[in-house]
Amino acid sequence: MKNTIIYFIITSIVSPLFSQPSGKEILNLIDKNLAAGTRIMTAKMIISGARGSRTIEFKTWAEGEERAFTEYTNPPREKGTKMLKLEDKLWIFSPSTDRIIQITGQMLRQSVMGSDLSYEDMMEDPDLTSHYNASVIASDTVQGRDCWVLQLNAAGEGEAYEVRKIWVDRERFVPLREELFGKSGKLLKRTQLSEVTRIQGRWYPMKIVFKDMLKAGDGTQFIIETLRLDDPVPENIFSKASLK
């Protein structure tokens, strides 16, 4: 689940460019860098709240953009909680109740485990190229690296965010920062990606910080601990049966 988010933010692949590429080209390059067939990762999320921060650890299996399965491993309270995303549906399983609950409607807007991310954020279709018109609007430096600044305008109705700005590493084609705006131009969310690491020939950001810009607070950190790309994932893992 988390994983889809990371995925869309990370979506990319490296290929050095000599002249300024078009927005679409950059998006494709990002996609090439980040899009692996399958991804298996262990990660943790550090959420800051009124009572200090807490850490949630989990393992995720994902395939493409459509299918993802997450199992929480820590803290003990959340251990055994599983989430399954199949296309636009999301289920959650809690071992203590032995119930599978589909997260729909109103609940999709709730924050995930108290983080600055909602279930909906996680459900978002990561395919930016088909939903947004991208153009390069500037150059900038983020974390000491030269970046293209991409502006993405929603191509049609129904996108969660009307405008996105993405700062993309010119060499590695990894997004290093993303800002999400409403129709009125208001900055709603900011994501910062760092600790870009070479994994199986791809550049991956291993730390991502999400921040709801309207809310006070430090935001939510997402840290990838291990990541395996293109390893085989058993087919049955992406089924409701695997939740229980």
Partner 1 sequence: MLAFKLAIKNLIGAGLRTWLNVFVLSLALVMIVFQSGIIHGWDVQARIDTTEWAIGGGEYWHDNYDPYDPLTLDDGHGLLPPELSGLYNDGQAAPVLVTQASVYPEGRMRNIILKGIDPDQKIIKLPSSQMAGDTSVINALIGTRMANATKLNKDDLVAVRWRDENGTFDATEIRIAGIFRTNVPEIDNNQIWIPLDRLRKITGLEDNATYVILKQGITSIPTVPGWIFKDRDSLLSDIESIIKAKSIGGIVMYIILLSLALLAVFDTQVLSIFRREKEIGTYIALGMTRWQVVRLFTVEGAMHSVLSIFAAAIWGTPLLFLVAKYGFAMPKATEGYGLTIAEKIFPVYALGTIIVMTLIILITTTIVSFIPSRKIAGMNPTEALRGKVQ
Partner 2 sequence: MIKFIIKGLLRDKHRSRLPLIVVAIGVMLTVLMTTWITGVLGDSINLNAKLSTGHVKVITKAYRESMDQIPVDLSLTGTKALITELKKDYPSASWVERIQFGGLLDLPDENGETKSQGPFAGIAVDLFNPSSGEAERLNLNRILVNGRLPSASGEILVSHSFAEKLGISINDRVTFIGTTMYGGMTIVNFTVAGTIRYGITALDRGSVIMDISDARNALEMEDACNEILGFTDVEYYDDSKASELMESFNDSYASDNDQFAPVMIRLRDQNDLGGLIDMMSGVVGIVSFVFILVLSVVLWNAGLIGGLRRYGEVGLRLAMGEEKGHIYRSMIAESLAIGTAGSVIGIALGLSLSYLLQQKGLDFSSAMQNATMLMPGVFRTRITPEAWYIGFIPGIIATVLGTMLAGIGIYKRQTARLFKELQS
Residues that bind partner 1 (CB under 8 A): 105-106, 120, 154, 157-162, 180, 182-184, 186, 188, 212, 214-217
Q: Cα–Cα distance between 174 and 201 in angstroms, integer? A: 13
The Cα 83–Cα 102 span in angstroms is: 10
Residue from 104, 133, 141, 200 binding partner 2 (CB under 8 A): 104
Q: Considering CB distances under 5 to 8 angstroms, the limit depending on partner class, which of partner 2, partner 1, none binds residue 154? A: partner 1
User: In the complex with partner 2, which residue's Cβ is closer, 33 or 81?
Assistant: 81
Query: Applying CB under 8 A, does 84 fall inside the site for partner 2?
Result: no
CB 126 within 8 A of CB 142: no
Site stretch for partner 2 (CB under 8 A), options 20-28, 95-103, 154-162, 178-186: 95-103
CB 27 within 8 A of CB 85: no
Q: What does the alpha-carbon distance between residue 198 and residue 157 come to, in Å, rounded to a whole number?
A: 36
Is 54 a binding residue for partner 2 by CB under 8 A? The answer is: yes
Per-residue binding string, partner 2, 166-205, x by CB under 8 A, is ----------------------------------------
Residue of the chain from 19, 50, 234, 236 that contacts partner 2 (CB under 8 A): 50
User: Least Å distance between CB 244 and partner 2?
Assistant: 9
Q: CB-based contacts of 2: which residues, under 8 Å, 6+ apart?
A: 43, 45, 58, 60, 70, 112, 117, 122, 222
- Among 147, 182, 139, 141, residue whose Cα is nearest residue 164: 182
In the numeric block, which tokens belong to residue 100? Answer: 């599978």
Check if the beta carbon of residue 208 is closer than 8 Å to that of residue 45.
no
Positions in the binding site for partner 2 (CB under 8 A): 47, 49-51, 54, 56, 75, 77-78, 81, 92, 94, 96-102, 104, 106-107, 110-115
